[in-house]
Amino acid sequence: MEEINNVEVVPCTESDYLKPFRVLYNQNGTKKSWDFMRTHDSVSVLIFNTTSHCFVLVKQFRPAVYMNEWERTKTQLPQSAETTEKSNPEASAPESQEAQSASEGESSSQWPPASAGVTYELCAGLVDKPDLSLEEIARQEVLEECGYDVPASKLKRITSYRSGVGVTGAKQTMFYAEVSDDNCVGAGGGEPREGELIEVVKVPLHEAMTFAYNERIQKTMGVIFSFIWFHNNMSPKYKISTNV
């Protein structure tokens, strides 16, 4: 699908996106501190196309997943990185040195294929527009990412939960949207201006449970959970295979 090359890891002394904060507090009389990051809450949407009896997911290259896989490859390779290690006054942290030397000293053939960073996810987006309801934000994401125009009133709230507890503490609310081919008004694919390169993919209903539990297909827990939620709650309406 994607062609990824010229990969390079550099130190990141200041990020516009990742800004750590520190909170100091007393817990039951003991002084503690915790480093966290502020981020927006989010919405995710399980989309089911009633014309084709398919779930509609988004598939994209995720640099953070790619880098995680790269680390895994490294730890499985013979430890040759030490021979390329060198002093770098700008990178004081051990991890920073390691990434730096790896990008400089290792050959590009050690980078995994692009597919290592490609994940299947629910249509989703950040709650960054204070004037809009969660349903309205979810509606916009369904339109922008997947090309279906459905009224916000037709979005069914499934539930909400903490999407991160250690670093961000953010809350995600999950919705269910039933669409038909008649609602399809565009190709989706996200906002190219925002750098989004999203592929819309369909998972047939009868393959959904096999897809959900196939660990070779990289996905979020939201995909697995929502497919099972559908199975449990919509099965009186739509038949679903349970060959798992």
Question: Residues 6 or more apart from 38 whose CB is under 8 A from it?
Answer: 19, 21, 168
At position 52, the amino acid (one-letter code) is S
For residues 131, 136, 137, 141, the Cα torsion angle rounded to the nearest 10 degrees is -150
190 in contact with a second copy (CB under 8 A): no
Which of residues 32 and 181 has its CB atom nearest to a second copy in the complex?
32
Contact call for residue 83 and a second copy (CB under 8 A): no
Q: Which of residues 3-32 bind a second copy (CB under 8 A)?
A: 3-12, 15-29, 31-32
Element (H, E) at 72: helix 63-76
* Binding residues for a second copy restricted to 224-243, rule: CB under 8 A: 224-225, 228-229, 231-232
Q: If binding is defined by CB under 8 A, does position 211 make contact with a second copy?
A: no
132 is an interface residue for a second copy by CB under 8 A: no
By CB neighbour count within 10 A (0-12 exposed, 13-18 middle, 19+ buried), where does 193 fall? Answer: exposed
Size of the site for a second copy (CB under 8 A): 84
Residue 148: DSSP 8-state:
B
Residues 99-128 close enough to bind a second copy by CB under 8 A: 99, 117, 119, 121
Piece in contact with a second copy (CB under 8 A), picked from 69-77, 133-141, 176-184, 198-206: 69-77
